[in-house]
Amino acid sequence: MDRLKDKVAIVTGAASGFGEGMARRFAEEGAKVVVADLNAKGAARVAEEIGKQAIAVTTDVSQRAEIDEAVYAAKSAFGRVDVMVNNAGYTHRNGDLLEVDEPTFDLIAAINMKAIYFSTLAVVPMMERQGGGVIINTASTAGLRPRPGLTWYNASKGWVITATKSMAVELAPKKIRVNCLCPVAGETGMLAQFMGEDTPERRAQFKSVIPLGRFSTPLDIANAALWLASDEAAFITGVALEVDGGRCV
C-alpha cells in the first residue's frame, strides 16, 4: 500500500467521478493529495474523508491564476508536486454539431485543452528542479473512436491525446513522463450528457459496443492512473492507455 509513498499529487476535477476515485486511490497508496475542483463543497468533502494527507482547493481550471494557486497550495502544504493529473472535463450534450453554441464550445476548449497548457506552465519548472515528475491527462475513447453527436468533445479529446504524446517527447530529457487515460463512458455526472438522455434504452445502446458489457467505474480509472503515476511505469511515456472494456479493439 505504498506505491506512491512520499509523492504529492494534484488531481483536478476531484470532487466526484473519476477524479474522486483517483484522489482516494492515490491516498490509499501513500500519496499526499490536493483535491482540486470548482465544486468547493465536494472537494472539501473528499479531502476530509481522505484525512490529513489531503487538502482541498477551489479551482476553476479554465483560469491560469487558479491553477497557479492550486500548485502553490500543494507546495505550501507538502513541499513539492510529483504528479499532476489533469482530469477536469466538460462536454456538450449529445446532439447535432451545428447546435452547439459558441460559449459551450469555448468552455470545452478551456477546460479540456487550455487547462493542460496552464498546468504544464505551472508544474514543469518545479518538476525539472526536483529531478522529474509525472503528468497524467484524462482523454477519452472519444478521441480514438468518435461517437456521433459529440463532435466538439471528441475533437478536444483527440487534442489531449496528441498533446500528451508531444509533451512526452519534449519533456523526456527532463525526466518528466506524460501519459493519458482513455476511459469509455462511465458512471459519472457526465454520462447523461454523453448519451443525450439517460434512459435504459440509451444505456443499453452505449453498453452494446463495450465487449466487457459495462460502463467504466472511477475505480477502473483510478487503478490505471495509479499504475501510470507509480515507479512501476517508470519506462512508460507518451501512451494513450485505453481503459475501455475493449471498446477500441
- The residues assigned a catalytic role are 153
Tell me the torsion sign for CA atoms 60, 66, 67, 71. Answer: negative
Contact in structure between 140 and 157 (CB atoms under 8 Å)? yes
Grid cell digits, residue 99: 447546435
Bridge partner list, 37: 58
Separation between Cα atoms, residue 70 and residue 56, nearest integer Å: 9
Separation between Cα atoms, residue 158 and residue 153, nearest integer Å: 9
Contact in structure between 33 and 26 (CB atoms under 8 Å)? yes
**Greatest Cα-to-Cα distance within the chain, rounded to the nearest angstrom:** 52
Grid cell digits, residue 209: 459496443
H or E element, residue 205 = helix 200-207
